[in-house]
Amino acid sequence: MAKNLVIVESPAKAKTIKKFLGPNYKIEASMGHVRDLPKSQLGIDIENDFEPKYITIRGKGELLAKLRKEVKKATKVYLATDPDREGEAISWHLLHSLKLEDKSTYRITFNEITKNAVKDSIKNAREIDMNLVDAQQARRLLDRVVGYKMSPVLWKKVRKGLSAGRVQSITLKLICDREHEINDFIPEEYWSLDAKLEIKETKDIFTAKFYGTQDEKVELKNEKQVKDILEELKGKSFKIAQILEKERKKKTVLPFTTSTLQQEASKKLNFTAIKTMRIAQQLYEGIEIKDEGTIGLITYLRTDSTRISDEAHNNVIEYIIEHYGETYANRDHSQNKKKEGVQDAHEAIRPSYVHLSPDEIKGSLSRDQYKLYNLIWRRFVSSRMMPAINIVKSVKIDAGNYRFTTALTTQLFDGFLKVYKEDEEKEDKQSISKLNDTSKLKKMEMLDEQHFTQHPPRYTEASLVKTLEENGVGRPSTYAPTIATVMARGYVSKENKQLFPTELGEIVNEMISSYFDGVIDVTFTASMEKQLDDVEIGAMEWKDVLRNFFPNFEKKVKIAEEEIEKIELKDEETDIICEKCGRNMVIKMGRYGKFLACPGFPDCRNAKPILEKVEGVECHKCGGEVLVKKTKKGRRYYGCEHNPECDFMTWNLPTSVKCDKCNAIMVDKGKKLMCSNDECKNVVSKE
Ligand SMILES: [Zn+2]
Ligand SMILES: [Zn+2]
Ligand SMILES: [Zn+2]
């Protein structure tokens, strides 16, 4: 007969824990949160010092009744939700909903679901940590206040049903800012000049790159400069000036944090951040492994620490020695020092049982589980291996007054790369290895090529997570949901892994950044996160976070409500006649921007894309109108009305100015105008 009740969030976790605790423990799942702020209203009594009004989440009544029955039968209750602020808050809500105040109730946490960790947690059972709960309450209430006060402004001014969030708005702003940078970017011309050379003795061929003169590096800016150099080089012989060989260490990678796991899973497995977290949660909670039963395969997945416990360190060193040999093991455990600003005593994300190699348990995992476990396992094992050692051979070659260079990297010792490769490295310059001080060279061919500098890349999920972390915006638990939210709301779209704002996203961002500057920006949001960290360690009272934030924010909401002109999105009538019913069609704002709809809705459901033309601009190729168009994913571009017969197309806003060199349309590049003709790329200042 069970005397002890353990409550966790999920049935999978319950199943994994069950076998460690024996018949005296009954395990039940709360199925996530049981109590929260109400959906239908703000749920915060602002007049009464931000007192939250929590209610039982709809549909959880029956479950709570069942849990209450179990509580009655038990002598002790253990709350074993996930080991972070949110988990602590779920336990605290359970305490209230189940009226556990008078019961012997304990909070237990484990960083991994293994027999030792679970048993230890019972030994170290404690009370609920109100600092952790309060940090979570402060975040929840902040987000609620911002969402519920800022969203109605959007409804009035843009479109019903839109919503704005605290961290999501920053994320949207980062993406919009990058898009503006890209729009304003003006490519600059540069040239490359390569010499294809033959080693006379061996007939091997290799390529050396133009460096400059013997004294300094020279940038190749234009064709004339390159042609002049080629002229000077005519008849000059190429000679080896110097060969240097240097040993270079390639530093071992650190084990995964939430942020680096999301970045690598995006790059290597093409997983979204949300998917990575979903699969990692499965690996953490427990998976049925053949001959082993249900076991938790990895440590807790929400962490910003790269620390590894002594026991795990010793185990992996043993594993490395056994499988790869003594020379690969890096016993140095000093990299374990605590990172500045890290939330808690969490560990890095690592396998719980290093001897369970990915290939050994492949048969028990789904394809995605295998891929992610493989990544985590390899990263962890390699993090305790020696650095790789490369020999870099760099060669300087002189011809006339000029210098060319080439280099070859040869691996001397693979070290951690045996288990984990960061990027695929290409090796093709084998013939350079045959070069020595006395080699004679023969010029085969000179290769010159024109290039243009590239605009900064759009964010990918991976680089966005990295940027959020670097700026101190958000925490391990928030990166994935934040990105998912801006996409679900139709503010941001993804094309070939690149994130860009939709027209709707631009409008929302424009409004938020002009009216909520100073409360919804990167610096301020980072300082809020810092305050939440202070609440967690008991250095700040949680309501102070709200008391500090609210007055200024409320002022901005008022100003925004009063000042913002309704952005012309009330159904503007057009002279386009609905071909189905004869009414004049209107412009509506949809998920991905404006479109034409019949006002007869719901009788007539006709809708179609807007044919919006760029006023005063005429296609230089055929004289047609230039139209605003959108890709399937909602990215804006401009094209000729006679497409596909006419192929004029540009990503930048066309202007009525024509290129003084080739007569093509000039497009808007912020402070400058650029020719839309890729072969011309003429740039002039805006007058
Ligand atoms: Zn109609
Ligand atoms: Zn045209
Ligand atoms: Zn031009």
Residue showing tokens 């455990």: 333
Reading the block at residue 679, the tokens are 């072969």
- Alpha-carbon gap, residue 335 to 352, rounded angstroms: 20
Beta-strand relationship, 25-29 and 35-36: unpaired
Reading the block at residue 555, the tokens are 């002022």
Question: CA-CA distances (angstroms) from residue 287 to 14, 329, 430?
Answer: 12, 29, 46
579: CA distance to ligand 1 center in Å?
Answer: 7
State the ligand closest to the CA atom of 617. Answer: 2
676: CA distance to ligand 3 center in Å?
Answer: 7
Instruction: Name which of 106, 62, 61 is nearest 81 in CA terms.
Output: 106
User: Which residues have CB atoms below 5 A from the ion given as ligand 1?
Assistant: 578, 580-581, 598, 600, 604, 606
* 190: helix, strand or coil: strand
Residue 334: pLDDT over 90: no
663: CA distance to ligand 2 center in Å?
Answer: 13
- The pLDDT value recorded for residue 299 is 97
DSSP state, 432? G
Q: What band does 348 get if pLDDT is binned at 50, 70 and 90? A: very high
Residue 260: pLDDT over 80: yes
Q: Is residue 455 classed exposed, middle or buried when 0-12, 13-18 and 19+ CB atoms within 10 A define those classes?
A: middle
- The pLDDT value recorded for residue 73 is 93
- The pLDDT value recorded for residue 419 is 94
Q: What band does 342 get if pLDDT is binned at 50, 70 and 90? A: very low
Residue 193: pLDDT over 80: yes
Which DSSP helix (H) or strand (E) runs through 589? strand 584-590
User: Which residues have CB atoms below 5 A from the ion given as ligand 2?
Assistant: 619, 621-622, 624, 640, 642, 646, 648
CA angle in degrees (0–180, nearest 5) for 104-105-110: 140
Q: What band does 341 get if pLDDT is binned at 50, 70 and 90? A: very low
Q: What band does 344 get if pLDDT is binned at 50, 70 and 90? A: very low
State the ligand closest to the CA atom of 666. Answer: 3
- Alpha-carbon gap, residue 264 to 642, rounded angstroms: 44
245 in Cβ contact with 338 (< 8 Å): no
Q: What percent of the chain has pLDDT over 70?
A: 95
- The pLDDT value recorded for residue 428 is 53
The three state secondary structure string of 28-78 is EECCCCCEECCCCCCCEECCCCCEECCEECCCCHHHHHHHHHHHHHCCEEE
Alpha helices, H only, 241-386: 258-269, 273-285, 310-324, 358-361, 367-383
- Alpha-carbon gap, residue 283 to 519, rounded angstroms: 38
- The pLDDT value recorded for residue 645 is 93
498: CA distance to ligand 3 center in Å?
Answer: 29
- The pLDDT value recorded for residue 113 is 94
600: CA distance to ligand 1 center in Å?
Answer: 5
630: CA distance to ligand 2 center in Å?
Answer: 17
610: CA distance to ligand 2 center in Å?
Answer: 19
- Alpha-carbon gap, residue 131 to 66, rounded angstroms: 29
State the ligand closest to the CA atom of 680. Answer: 3
| Helix pair 273-285, 479-488: axis angle to 10 deg | 140
- Alpha-carbon gap, residue 549 to 569, rounded angstroms: 31
649: CA distance to ligand 2 center in Å?
Answer: 9
Residue 282: pLDDT over 60: yes
611-647 burial code (b ≥16 CB/10 A, e <16): eeebeebbbbeeebebbbbbeeebbbebbbbbeeeee
State the ligand closest to the CA atom of 659. Answer: 3
299: CA distance to ligand 1 center in Å?
Answer: 58
State the ligand closest to the CA atom of 580. Answer: 1
CB atoms within 10 A of CB 384: 28
pLDDT 10s digits, 622-665: 999 999 888 877 788 999 999 889 999 999 999 999 999 999 99
| Helix pair 166-184, 522-536: axis angle to 10 deg | 150
Torsional sign, CA 38, 39, 45, 49: positive
- Alpha-carbon gap, residue 240 to 523, rounded angstroms: 53
Residue from 25, 284, 300, 353 carrying the catalytic annotation: 300
Mean pLDDT of the residues in the chain = 91
CA angle in degrees (0–180, nearest 5) for 553-556-558: 115
Torsional sign, CA 358, 359, 361, 364: positive
670: CA distance to ligand 2 center in Å?
Answer: 24
State the ligand closest to the CA atom of 648. Answer: 2
CB atoms within 10 A of CB 238: 20
Residue showing tokens 């000093």: 334
- The pLDDT value recorded for residue 430 is 63
- Alpha-carbon gap, residue 327 to 193, rounded angstroms: 43
Range scoring the smallest mean pLDDT among 318-332, 493-507, 588-602? 588-602
Question: Model's pTM, two decimal places?
Answer: 0.88
353: CA distance to ligand 3 center in Å?
Answer: 63
CB atoms within 10 A of CB 323: 14
Q: What percent of the chain has pLDDT over 90?
A: 76
- Alpha-carbon gap, residue 286 to 225, rounded angstroms: 65
- The pLDDT value recorded for residue 297 is 97
State the ligand closest to the CA atom of 643. Answer: 2
674: CA distance to ligand 3 center in Å?
Answer: 8
656 in Cβ contact with 642 (< 8 Å): no
- The pLDDT value recorded for residue 425 is 58
201 in Cβ contact with 439 (< 8 Å): yes
Mean pLDDT of 388-396: 93
655: CA distance to ligand 2 center in Å?
Answer: 15
User: Which residues have CB atoms below 5 A from the ion given as ligand 3?
Assistant: 659, 661-662, 664, 675, 677, 680, 682
- The pLDDT value recorded for residue 427 is 53
- Alpha-carbon gap, residue 26 to 357, rounded angstroms: 32
Alpha helices, H only, 384-425: none
Residue 36 carries which side chain, given as an amino acid letter? D
What are the strands of the beta sheet with 104-107, ordered from one edge? 25-29, 4-8, 76-79, 104-107
Q: What band does 345 get if pLDDT is binned at 50, 70 and 90? A: low
300 is catalytic: yes
397 in Cβ contact with 423 (< 8 Å): no
Mean pLDDT of 359-385: 97
